[in-house]
Amino acid sequence: MAKKKPARAKSKAASRKVVKLASRKPAPKLKAKAAVKPKTNGNRLPKPSSKPFGKDGKALDGIRILDFTHVQSGPTCTQLLAWLGADVIKIERPGVGDITRGQLQDVPNVDSLYFTMLNHNKRSITLDSKSKQGMKVLERLVKNCDALVENFAPGALDRMGLTWERIHAWNPRMVVASVKGFGPGPYEECKVYENVAQCAGGSASTTGFRDGPPLVTGAQIGDSGTGLHLALGIVCALVQRNRTGRGQRVLTAMQDGVLNLCRVKLRDQQRLAHGPLNEYSQYGENIPFGEAVPRAGNDSGGGQPGWILKCKGWETDPDAYIYFITQAPVWEKICELIGKPEWKTDPEYAKPPARLPRLKHIFNTIEQWTTTKTKFEVMELCNAVDIPVGPILSMKELAEEPSLRATGTIVEVDHPTRGKYLSVGNPIKLSDSITEVTRSPLLGEHTNEILSKVLKFTPAEIAEIKASGATGEAPKAKMAAE
């Protein structure tokens, strides 16, 4: 990437890039950077970038985020915004920080992977938001940020004194974005974690096997899924602000986010009124449907029957399995591959409706073939003839997969106290916006830098803020005076 002259002083931490201030209403006494004119050709149309893929600036350059998030849902959102170029300033409680810093610690007294993997590319300032001096800093932050993102328990932001009305009065351009467990209604006051959302959003009731209990999934659809929804909401609010000049509130409820991801199950709920769901294996097994969408085991969620089949080595390797889809257009190729050419013309197998009552037998037969091959051999043989299959990849296999390293989907990050660790990089690839994954900040690592260089507090003001204890430890006498 070509080096640009930095618009503001550089951080001491060499690994961090300084992000420019632009496109926001300037706070009193602070200068805003002039808008950058797009490069144009003779027809005044933008030229395509001449830089290599992903090497031309950052999509959210100039956007600054006041990150009041913790645990997983909110941090997922702000990490994405940071990867896309926003300057994300994470506010953390002095001495404690985001609770995940200390949760599931694999190395004693070192920020946990839970924290480091959800807070890349951010800066950290410690601030007691409930103190007078803390609120003074927050006010200055609100006036110099484009969006405030939070996922506190319902009412916590208001209890701090940061009501929407107050924020809007300080900075009418500010977008205020929240994750909550539930939207307005009977449960809106409830605190919610990942699995609560998975259960309340329809995922658990439709996951698992018909004869077993509801199951939660490994994918963090409640937390990370809602964080993704929130990030889109924030970017949309910023786009709308370009037209209206004002900010707005953005709310994503975890129940709503999970339900959105379970859309096909609500589809099936309504189809039930018109008869059994014949692509569910329970149909082929002559088991009647109840009033609600049942758990469908490993049945395919689409119109093409599928199932997870054993592969060579399954007796000892818990991940020696493959997802096999009996897609109608490639049925004849499947018959050839598994050594059942007669099924191509047999009226009991040739057409999809005829196969539905005997899917279990069909998959058992295919499995006799897949168990003679490794999952990778099955994948190679099937893909050669356009049969879609999915090898069950373990986290170990994913971590070691060279193609994911090459695209930056799996990245190795260096951390000053932890050393090197693996993380999932930005899954969203933009041709003009590079994602450099930098390490998560240490607790309060950027407090001084943000107070002086971003918020332009004078040395005397910083001394006063610090002496009050608002950013951390302070003499007891001073704290009492505050």
| Residue 152 makes contact with ligand COA by CB under 6 A | yes
Nearer to ligand COA, 137 or 325 (CB): 137
| Residue 203 makes contact with ligand COA by CB under 6 A | no
Q: How far is the CB of 230 from ligand COA (least distance, A)?
A: 10
Q: Which residues in the 116-145 window bind ligand COA by CB under 6 A?
A: 127-130
| Residue 187 makes contact with ligand COA by CB under 6 A | no
Nearer to ligand COA, 73 or 116 (CB): 73
| Residue 180 makes contact with ligand COA by CB under 6 A | yes
**Residues 64, 453: Cα–Cα separation, whole Å:** 14
| Residue 146 makes contact with ligand COA by CB under 6 A | no
| Residue 446 makes contact with ligand COA by CB under 6 A | no
Q: Which of 20, 93, 241, 446 lies at the binding interface for ligand COA (CB under 6 A)? A: 93
Continuous H helices in 272-391: 281-284, 331-337, 352-355, 359-370, 375-384
Q: How far is the CB of 398 from ligand COA (least distance, A)?
A: 23
223 catalytic? Reply is: yes
**Binding segment (CB under 6 A) for ligand COA, from list 71-79, 205-213, 375-383, 410-418:** 71-79
List the structure tokens of 117: 């993997």
Nearer to ligand COA, 118 or 174 (CB): 118
Q: How far is the CB of 79 from ligand COA (least distance, A)?
A: 13
Q: Which residues in the 210-269 window bind ligand COA by CB under 6 A?
A: 223
Residue matched to tokens 């692509």 = 279
Q: Determine the angle formed by the axes of helices 223-244 and 254-261, rounding to 10 degrees.
A: 100
**Residues 316, 462: Cα–Cα separation, whole Å:** 61
Q: Which amino acid is at 42?
A: G
| Residue 181 makes contact with ligand COA by CB under 6 A | yes
Q: Which of 10, 12, 159, 361 lies at the binding interface for ligand COA (CB under 6 A)? A: 159
347 within 8 A of 355, measured Cβ to Cβ:
no
Q: How far is the CA of 428 from the CAs of 65, 120, 350, 359, 440, in angstroms?
A: 19, 15, 41, 37, 19
Nearer to ligand COA, 93 or 446 (CB): 93
Q: Of these residues, 87, 223, 256, 268, which one is catalytic?
A: 223
Q: How far is the CB of 140 from ligand COA (least distance, A)?
A: 15
Q: Which of 138, 192, 293, 410 lies at the binding interface for ligand COA (CB under 6 A)? A: 192
Continuous H helices in 128-193: 132-143, 156-160, 164-170
Nearer to ligand COA, 197 or 334 (CB): 197
**Residues 278, 78: Cα–Cα separation, whole Å:** 42
Residue matched to tokens 């640009």 = 4
Q: How far is the CB of 127 from ligand COA (least distance, A)?
A: 5
122 within 8 A of 157, measured Cβ to Cβ:
no
Q: What is the DSSP letter of 456?
A: -
Strands 419-424 and 410-415: antiparallel
| Residue 193 makes contact with ligand COA by CB under 6 A | yes
Burial per residue of 104-125, b for 16 or more beta-carbon CB atoms within 10 angstroms, e otherwise:
eeeeeebbbbbbbbbbbbbbbb
User: Which residue ranges make up the site for ligand COA (CB under 6 A)?
Assistant: 71-74, 91, 93, 127-130, 151-153, 156, 159-160, 179-181, 191-193, 223
Active site residues: 223
